[in-house]
Amino acid sequence: MNKKEPLTGFMALNSASINKGTAFTAEERKHHKLRGLLPPKIVSSEVQLERTLKNMRRTQDDIGKYVFLTALQARNEKLFYKLVVNHIEEVMPLIYTPTVGQACKEYAHLFRRPRGMYITAEDKGEIKEVLENWPYRDIKVIVVTDGERILGLGDLGANGIGIPIGKLALYVACAGIEPHQCLPIMLDVGTNNVEYLHDPFYLGLSQNRISGDAYNDFVDEFIQGVKNLFPDALIQFEDFLTPNAYYLLNKYRNEVLCFNDDIQGTAGVALAGIYASTRISKLKFKDMKIMFLGAGSAATGIADLLCYALQQEGLSEDEARQRLWFVDIEGLVVKSRKGLLPHNEPYMHDHEQLGFIDAIHEIKPNVLIGATGAPNTFNHDVVEAMSEANERPTIFALSNPTSRAECTAMEAYDWSQGKVIFASGSPFAPVDFGDQKFTPGQGNNVYIFPGIGLGAIISETSIITEDMFLTAAQVLAEQVSQEDLDKGMIYPPLNTIREVSYNIALAVAEHAYAGKTTKSERPEDLESRIKDYMYDPSY
Ligand code: NAD
């Protein structure tokens, strides 16, 4: 076999996976024929990282930093990931929520160079041929969206590609998935966003969305194309409109290696937060009542997993559902209501119709979870009502980005007189309250999906089961230390994320082997296989 020739000269400098810039050693400079093409000083990777960090911080606004980081990822992949891993608390909010929300809104205006794939409605009948253009075959994770419900921001059409790109960067940084094994995909089926349809900079198909059978057939052709070309790939559905999200998940979950992060990933992270909160509130999980504001994919996904988890504690399905209450824009979800979607039906209670605040007073939930995309919906009265009903109320304001959070961390601590156990979807800075300092937890799906993906890759499971999310939630809750709880945190610090992902991956893989969803038996060296696989951005 011919030894592969190394990339040389500008080809090497322009290859993000090879390029080390000024950190190329003398030997590497010779090997890649770079002598004379770089400034002479050979810089250590530590100094290089420090310079990069300084440059990133010089950029004043977050969108500028996003653009800077995007360019870095395209120029020097390892340096980019080293920056993300070593400074995760600072960098993650720039490459993911909240900044990614604004970046998606402005994507067409910020556009420099493509990343990922665009499969459009015009490719119908030829989707496999288009997928074949991707240069790698060994794909392990695909994150795919159709851009119709990006975070809490609605239909952003092809601009939504920023979400799969961001999520896959987190797969690499947080669970060590190999960058070249990740594929971000935008299913561009048009957009109903009138502003974009009139924007000359917009880069997607300038047509309204296809829907119904045309849409379902299009997605099916895409799924079959993926199965054919990338048979080992895990497909993560991301930011689809709720009815489509449920349709696709229910259609493919037992047939294809896939999950929906908005439904199942959110559920895993919320359940973990609830488990951890019981170590502060001293309540028993199986005795808890939980109320949701918002009855869409995130809230219902959480309820479905909670229902399953409560049954594992000995409750019947009916008893478990009695603990879970929904309020949406029309009020309490009750049997007498008309026009609710199928995913709401299991949670329609035999109860009189009530507004939100009356429902809290009457039902007295221990946990309140907001997944509305509607800011300021947890107002003073809401937080006060939760504090009257509970010694330590637990409140999750999950809506993203930060501007959509149901309340801020400061409001939650302030209005509850410091009693609240609080977590949000997007990050909030620590809050000083009297002589106490609280660190709000971030109920970010990043605590769950990278570990699930890593476990699935290593075990080569054929499907992702509900039990895997339950297991992931239990493992995540166990990683919260007493010191974290004392600060008010119900999630471990982000800088432990690679360890968290490893532990989740191990538990998920064990589960897959035990459940016989894998192609082969559990290997003796499972732990070291996971560790050895994990991508290390150092050089
Ligand atoms: P969705 O559109 O499916 O559901 C939104 C729900 O909120 C609907 O039931 C709607 O009726 C209800 N709603 C809207 N405004 C309301 C109001 N003023 N009062 C009461 N109910 C109201 O959306 P989704 O996928 O469920 O996502 C909702 C939010 O959750 C988004 O902002 C998303 O970013 C966030 N989310 C957060 C996480 C996380 O932090 N881990 C994960 C997933 C989704």
326/412 Cα distance (integer angstroms): 20
The alpha-helical segments, DSSP class H, found in 288-422 are: 297-312, 317-322, 356-363, 380-389, 409-415
Verify that 228 and 275 share a domain, yes or no: no
User: Is 371 touching ligand 1 by the criterion CB < 6 Å?
Assistant: yes
Q: Which of 446, 465, 490 is the last residue of a domain?
A: 446
pLDDT 10s digit of each residue in the chain, 539 long? 446 789 999 999 999 999 999 999 999 999 999 999 999 999 999 999 999 999 999 998 999 999 999 999 999 999 999 999 999 999 999 999 999 999 999 999 999 999 999 999 999 999 999 999 999 999 999 999 999 999 989 999 999 999 999 999 999 999 999 999 999 999 999 999 999 999 999 999 999 999 999 999 999 999 999 999 999 999 999 999 999 999 999 999 999 999 999 999 999 999 999 999 999 999 999 999 999 999 998 999 999 999 999 999 999 999 999 999 999 999 999 999 998 989 999 999 999 999 999 999 999 999 999 999 999 999 999 999 999 999 999 999 999 888 899 999 999 999 999 999 999 998 899 999 988 999 999 999 999 999 999 999 999 999 999 999 999 999 999 999 999 999 999 999 999 999 999 999 999 999 999 999 999 999 999 999 999 999 999 99
Q: Choose, from 66, 81, 96, 246, the residue flagged as catalytic.
A: 96
Spatial CA neighbour of 539 closest among 42, 180, 173, 23: 23
Report which protein residue has its CA nearest ligand 1's atom 42. 266
**Bridge-based pairing state of the strands 234-237 and 117-120:** unpaired
User: How many A from CA of 149 to the centre of ligand 1?
Assistant: 10
Where residue 416 sits, what CATH number does that domain have? 3.40.50.720
- Provide the pLDDT for residue 400: 87
Q: Which of 425, 446, 467 is the last residue of a domain?
A: 446
- Provide the pLDDT for residue 402: 87
Q: Which domain holds residue 412?
A: 264-446
Which secondary structure element, helix H or strand E, spans residue 328, and what is its range?
A: strand 324-328
Verify that 248 and 354 share a domain, yes or no: no
243/499 Cα distance (integer angstroms): 35
User: How many A from CA of 100 to the centre of ligand 1?
Assistant: 17
User: How many A from CA of 235 to the centre of ligand 1?
Assistant: 23
- 171 half-sphere exposure, CB direction, 13 A CA radius: 31
SS3 readout for 41-103: CCCCHHHHHHHHHHHHHHCCCHHHHHHHHHHHHHHCHHHHHHHHHHCHHHHHHHHCCCHHHHH
Q: Which of 156, 400, 494 to mutate to test the pocket of ligand 1 (most atoms within 8 A of CB)?
A: 400
- At residue 370, φ and ψ (nearest 5 deg) are -100, 125
Q: Read off the tokens for 477.
A: 């809750």
Q: Choose, from 82, 167, 196, 202, the residue flagged as catalytic.
A: 167
Please indicate whether residue 4 is annotated as part of the active site: no
Where residue 203 sits, what CATH number does that domain have? 3.40.50.10380
User: Is 445 touching ligand 1 by the criterion CB < 6 Å?
Assistant: yes
User: Is 98 touching ligand 1 by the criterion CB < 6 Å?
Assistant: no
- Would 130 be classed as within a structural domain? yes
Verify that 186 and 333 share a domain, yes or no: no
User: Is 262 touching ligand 1 by the criterion CB < 6 Å?
Assistant: yes
User: Is 374 touching ligand 1 by the criterion CB < 6 Å?
Assistant: yes
Q: 17: buried, middle or exposed (CB in 10 Å: 19+, 13-18, 0-12)?
A: exposed
Q: What Å distances lie between residue 67 and 94, 107, 192, 381, CA to CA?
A: 9, 10, 27, 41
Collapse the DSSP code of 117 into the 3-class scheme (helix H, G, I; strand E, B; otherwise coil) and give the result: strand
User: Is 93 touching ligand 1 by the criterion CB < 6 Å?
Assistant: no
Report which protein residue has its CA nearest ligand 1's atom 40. 425
User: Is 260 touching ligand 1 by the criterion CB < 6 Å?
Assistant: no
User: How many A from CA of 295 to the centre of ligand 1?
Assistant: 7
Verify that 380 and 441 share a domain, yes or no: yes
Nearest atom within ligand 1 for CA of residue 399: 32
Where residue 33 sits, what CATH number does that domain have? 1.20.1370.30
Q: What Å distances lie between residue 48 and 85, 258, 477, 538, CA to CA?
A: 15, 38, 36, 12
2/15 Cα distance (integer angstroms): 22
Verify that 195 and 220 share a domain, yes or no: yes
Nearest atom within ligand 1 for CA of residue 294: 7
- At residue 249, φ and ψ (nearest 5 deg) are -60, -50
User: Is 266 touching ligand 1 by the criterion CB < 6 Å?
Assistant: yes
398/387 Cα distance (integer angstroms): 19
- At residue 332, φ and ψ (nearest 5 deg) are -65, 140
Q: How many domains does the chain have?
A: 3
Q: Which of 204, 228, 256 is the last residue of a domain?
A: 256
Q: Read off the tokens for 336.
A: 């007498």
Verify that 210 and 314 share a domain, yes or no: no
Name residue 258's beta-bridge partners.
235
pTM: 0.94
- Would 161 be classed as within a structural domain? yes
- Would 459 be classed as within a structural domain? no
410/422 Cα distance (integer angstroms): 10
User: Is 299 touching ligand 1 by the criterion CB < 6 Å?
Assistant: yes
- Provide the pLDDT for residue 3: 63
- Provide the pLDDT for residue 1: 42
295/328 Cα distance (integer angstroms): 6
Is 467 in contact with 191 (CB distance < 8 Å)?
Answer: no
Q: Read off the tokens for 212.
A: 């119904």
Verify that 303 and 429 share a domain, yes or no: yes
Verify that 213 and 343 share a domain, yes or no: no
454/331 Cα distance (integer angstroms): 40
Verify that 296 and 242 share a domain, yes or no: no
Q: How many beta carbons lie within 10 A of that of residue 255, not counting itself?
A: 11
Report which protein residue has its CA nearest ligand 1's atom 22. 329
User: Is 397 touching ligand 1 by the criterion CB < 6 Å?
Assistant: no
User: How many A from CA of 376 to the centre of ligand 1?
Assistant: 13
Q: Read off the tokens for 216.
A: 């379902």
Please indicate whether residue 167 is annotated as part of the active site: yes
Verify that 242 and 269 share a domain, yes or no: no
- Would 525 be classed as within a structural domain? no
- Would 538 be classed as within a structural domain? no
Report which protein residue has its CA nearest ligand 1's atom 39. 425
User: Is 341 touching ligand 1 by the criterion CB < 6 Å?
Assistant: no
Q: How many beta carbons lie within 10 A of that of residue 112, not counting itself?
A: 9
User: Is 357 touching ligand 1 by the criterion CB < 6 Å?
Assistant: no
Q: Cβ neighbours of residue 401 under 8 Å, at least 6 residues apart?
A: 97, 98, 99, 100, 101, 102, 151, 152, 153, 426
- Would 526 be classed as within a structural domain? no
User: How many A from CA of 341 to the centre of ligand 1?
Assistant: 14
User: How many A from CA of 385 to the centre of ligand 1?
Assistant: 22
- At residue 259, φ and ψ (nearest 5 deg) are -155, 165
Verify that 307 and 226 share a domain, yes or no: no
Verify that 242 and 149 share a domain, yes or no: yes
Nearest atom within ligand 1 for CA of residue 372: 7
- Would 380 be classed as within a structural domain? yes
User: How many A from CA of 133 to the centre of ligand 1?
Assistant: 36
